[in-house]
Amino acid sequence: MKDEDKTLSKINGLLKKDEDLVIVENIKKEDNYYRGKIEINYLNENLSFDIAIPHNYPLTHPNSDNISIIFKNKNYIGLNHINLDGSVCFHPDKDEDFDRKLLYEIHCLKQWIKDYYIYKKEDDNYTYLIHKTESGCINKLYFTNTKNNFPKNSFGTFRFSIFSDEKFGEKKLPVKKLFRLGFEDGKNDTWSHTFVEELKSKTCKKGLYYFIEEEPLRKNNVGRKGIENWNELKDYLLDEFIGYLYKGLKREFNNNYYHENGLFLIIGYKIPNKETYEEHWDLIRISKKNIPIDYKRISKSEVQNGSKRFEHNFKLNKINWSTTENIDYNRFFGRGKLDDKITNSNILIIGCGALGSSLAEILVRGGVKNIVLEDFDTIKGGNLCRANYGLNDMIYYKTDSLTKRLKAISPFVNINSISVKLNHYDLEVIKDAFNKNVDIIFDCSTDTEVSYIIDKLNFTGKTFSLAITNNAKSFVSITGKNLTKQAKTIFDFVENEEPSYFEGTGCGYPTFEANYNDINALLNVGVKVINNNYSKNKKHESFIIQPDFGDELIIEIQEYEYYILNDINSAIHISKSVLKRIEEETKFHYPKEFGGVFIGYKSDLHFIITDILIPDQYKNGQTIFIREPGTLNERLSEIHKMTNGEIEYLGEWHSHPNGPTTPSSTDINAMEIISKDKNINIDKPLLMIAEVNNISFGKDLYIYDNKKLKKYE
């Protein structure tokens, strides 16, 4: 038996298993489908359907979203979950088992009969009215919510821009994308100023609107079926408007209303949303050469006192419906956006290269509304492999090309640009401009001159200085005060090798090596950390992301609290994971004191505390903690050796159960002894005292200097 015959036999056998189903037209193979007709006798209702099963079943129907078997009857158009061609719209789970899936789809069809044909179930979400659109062209209007509160039967003009006018496919189908600008009374769609200026630079026209308030449905029709002919629309429109439309089409509308001999009319009505209702609009194209209105004079004998001497009636012509889409901000970014504290901020991106160009796109796709781009450089061929530019962008300023790219992504972002270095401006001018107009700075320049300028500004917003190390071994985000000093300490710590790539020949300086994927993999994680902190109202700290794809696939993220002591030019970065571990250890030993050793990186008096060592020998009580050497020295020596001397002993930490965090005389004496111990080799050791109880945890950090313990802020 042929495969085709086997499939037919299987289909027929499975269909006959259902006692409520009758095959009324034999299933046959036609083209790429097995077609026939069935009847379902279910819950005292008898419904018939044409059936089409794809030849590759149980795979889905080609070029459709998770649709496999088509059940169709045009008599049911207008019912919920019936498409314009009469097919039932449901999306069964994908299943590679032929028999199980076919029987399940029959079950889904019967469930539709029960829910929507018999019980007339209404879904929680509004189902948009779908019209049969004009053939031979595609016209689509995009709009936003304007909250105009139109009264019923109000009409007038609206403005729109022809955003694009193209030919599509082999048949060169005309495709026009239209964006509404607003209404005659000045109530505008809520696009960004940048996008509005873009729209106004293109061909702009006027159209007509009419607000009918209720959906344009066929009268006395099963379910919700949209009207198709002009004479059906008459019941929704005032005679005054019909006369106005006729006169305008005949002689009063000028070229501002027409594009290619067509005038656009939008029909508005209320639809429900999560709160109350909103205004939806459907689009009609009216041909100047085929006016859908008849004009008739009324004879004098039929004219009564004060009545009209003529009348207008719609013809039986088909309405040339087009499509519309409400892409209001909340809908446009409904599938996912960044936290409101980011999207509502005025953001400055300094440096639009590998990091900056990708960051800008992440932010715009995340719903950011206001961005300023700063970069003095132009685009070269070498930029294209890892920055968001194309061949056509070469030679031009990065800010100009990136602006063009971002405008093509979101109609809700305002973009300004600066194509010179910040040092072009007086420092006081920058300070005033930034503090008045910028909420967040993302410095992607990796230029110490830029961080130096930002440090001098006393900037009142948030700053994130972002960078990638050579071969994308680390991603660094530095925030807070002293960006330049922080950057030097952190990069001395994480950077194992100097930037190694030179662009061609000549006197150019080297840049870091990293491919597009590696850069963006780390950048996306970095943005997620920042977004998470905003959404949870957490304090922003500097952090380092380091992928380690050895025996295990790990991406390690370490956030660091930052403390400074200006009078001796000292600072501490302490890992939050270290602090969490200390909190756990001290609470575990509460109400007794407990402590241990800090290890990490040191450059002059700038420290990065990366870990702690727990002593294996100690004495402790409620007011005493004595750390014995035990194996600590051996462990410290091994760590020092494994890290080539980079990680070393930095100081001590211990708890004061129930407080305070003030050092005792015992603490001061202990730190003096450590500072003088030549075997330890640190003359200014650190000390952290933790105030701890069962619920709370607090701490203060000190450095032993000039026979005193000085406190960091």
pLDDT at 357 over 60: yes
Q: Mean per-residue pLDDT for 514-536?
A: 97
Cα–Cα distance, 149 to 155 (Å, whole number): 12
Q: At which of 549, 579, 594 does a domain end?
A: 549
pLDDT of amino acid 310: 73
Cα–Cα distance, 519 to 509 (Å, whole number): 20
Cα–Cα distance, 112 to 247 (Å, whole number): 48
Q: Mean per-residue pLDDT for 341-354?
A: 98
Q: Mean per-residue pLDDT for 279-308?
A: 81
Cα–Cα distance, 40 to 76 (Å, whole number): 14
> How many residues in the chain?
713
Q: Is 27 a domain residue? A: yes
Q: Are residues 576 and 515 in the same domain?
A: no
The helix/strand/coil state of 54 is strand
111, two tokens: 């469930």
Indicate the pLDDT class of residue 58, thresholds 50, 70 and 90. very high
Q: Are residues 237 and 151 in the same domain?
A: yes
Q: Mean per-residue pLDDT for 333-339?
A: 97
CATH of the domain at 365: 3.40.50.720
Least confident interval from 292-296, 463-467, 635-639: 292-296
pLDDT of amino acid 281: 97
Indicate the pLDDT class of residue 186, thresholds 50, 70 and 90. confident
User: Average pLDDT of the chain?
Assistant: 93
Q: Are residues 352 and 288 in the same domain?
A: no
Indicate the pLDDT class of residue 220, thresholds 50, 70 and 90. confident
Q: Is 128 a domain residue? A: no
Instruction: Please answer whether residues 327 and 421 qualify as being in contact, where contact means their C-beta atoms are separated by less than 8 angstroms.
Output: no
The helix/strand/coil state of 122 is coil
Q: Are residues 156 and 194 in the same domain?
A: yes
Q: Buried b / exposed e across 129-153, counting CB within 10 Å, b at 16+? A: bbbebbeebbbbbbbbbbeeebeee
Cα–Cα distance, 607 to 562 (Å, whole number): 10
What ranges make up the beta strands (E) of 131-255? 138-143, 154-168, 173-183, 204-213
Cα–Cα distance, 174 to 418 (Å, whole number): 39
Q: Are residues 430 and 497 in the same domain?
A: yes
Q: Is 243 a domain residue? A: yes
Q: Are residues 586 and 705 in the same domain?
A: yes
Q: Mean per-residue pLDDT for 616-640?
A: 93
Q: Is 555 a domain residue? A: no
174, two tokens: 């005309």
Q: Mean per-residue pLDDT for 292-297?
A: 86
Q: At which of 549, 583, 617 does a domain end?
A: 549
Q: Mean per-residue pLDDT for 473-484?
A: 96
Cα–Cα distance, 274 to 496 (Å, whole number): 54
From 561, 589, 556, 576, select the one nearest 656 (Cα to Cα): 589
Q: Are residues 668 and 695 in the same domain?
A: yes
Task: Give this prediction's pTM.
Answer: 0.92
Question: Using CB atoms within 10 A of its CB, is residue 277 exposed (0-12), middle (13-18) or buried (19+)?
Answer: exposed
Q: Are residues 435 and 473 in the same domain?
A: yes
pLDDT at 39 over 80: yes
pLDDT of amino acid 301: 61
pLDDT at 199 over 60: yes
Helix 193-200 and helix 398-407, axial crossing angle in degrees, nearest 10: 90
Cα–Cα distance, 235 to 230 (Å, whole number): 10
Least confident interval from 308-317, 415-424, 429-438: 308-317
Q: Are residues 462 and 543 in the same domain?
A: yes
pLDDT at 306 over 60: no
Q: Is 303 a domain residue? A: no
Q: For the segment 141-176, what is each residue's pLDDT rounded down to a tens digit?
A: 999 999 778 999 999 999 999 999 999 988 899 999
258, two tokens: 């027409």
Q: For the segment 203-216, what is each residue's pLDDT rounded down to a tens digit?
A: 999 999 999 999 99
Indicate the pLDDT class of residue 242, thresholds 50, 70 and 90. very high
Least confident interval from 92-106, 290-304, 478-492, 506-520: 290-304
Instruction: Please answer whether residues 674 and 680 qualify as being in contact, where contact means their C-beta atoms are separated by less than 8 angstroms.
Output: yes
Phi, psi of 40 (to 5 degrees): -115, 120
Indicate the pLDDT class of residue 305, thresholds 50, 70 and 90. low
pLDDT of amino acid 33: 93
Q: Are residues 63 and 106 in the same domain?
A: yes
pLDDT at 111 over 80: yes
Q: Are residues 531 and 637 in the same domain?
A: no
pLDDT of amino acid 302: 63
625, two tokens: 């903690």
% of the chain exceeding 90 in pLDDT: 82
Number of domains in the chain: 4
Q: Is 199 a domain residue? A: yes
pLDDT of amino acid 318: 95
pLDDT at 308 over 80: no
% of the chain exceeding 70 in pLDDT: 96
Indicate the pLDDT class of residue 219, thresholds 50, 70 and 90. confident
Q: For the segment 382-406, what is each residue's pLDDT rounded down to a tens digit?
A: 999 999 999 999 999 999 999 999 9
Taking the alpha carbons at both ends of the chain, their separation in whole angstroms is 86
Task: Compute the Cα dihedral for 500, 502, 506, 507 and give only its sign.
Answer: negative
Domain containing 378: what range? 345-549
260, two tokens: 């290619």
Q: Are residues 575 and 497 in the same domain?
A: no
Phi, psi of 660 (to 5 degrees): -90, -175
Those residues with Cβ within 8 angstroms of residue 261's Cβ, 6 or more apart along the chain or in another chain: 287, 288, 289
pLDDT at 185 over 90: no
Task: Compute the Cα dihedral for 59, 63, 65, 67 and give only its sign.
Answer: negative
Cα–Cα distance, 191 to 134 (Å, whole number): 28
Q: For the segment 547-588, what is each residue's pLDDT rounded down to a tens digit?
A: 988 888 999 999 999 999 999 999 999 999 999 999 999 999
329, two tokens: 């901000």
Q: Mean per-residue pLDDT for 452-472?
A: 94
Q: At which of 524, 549, 574 does a domain end?
A: 549
Q: CA-based Rg of the chain, rounded to a whole angstrom?
A: 36
Cα–Cα distance, 78 to 124 (Å, whole number): 17
The helix/strand/coil state of 564 is strand
pLDDT at 505 over 90: no
CATH of the domain at 98: 3.10.110
For every residue of 502-553, DSSP letters joined together read --SSSSPPPB----HHHHHHHHHHHHHHHHHHHHTTPPP-EEEEEEEESSSE
Q: Is 36 a domain residue? A: yes
Q: Is 509 a domain residue? A: yes
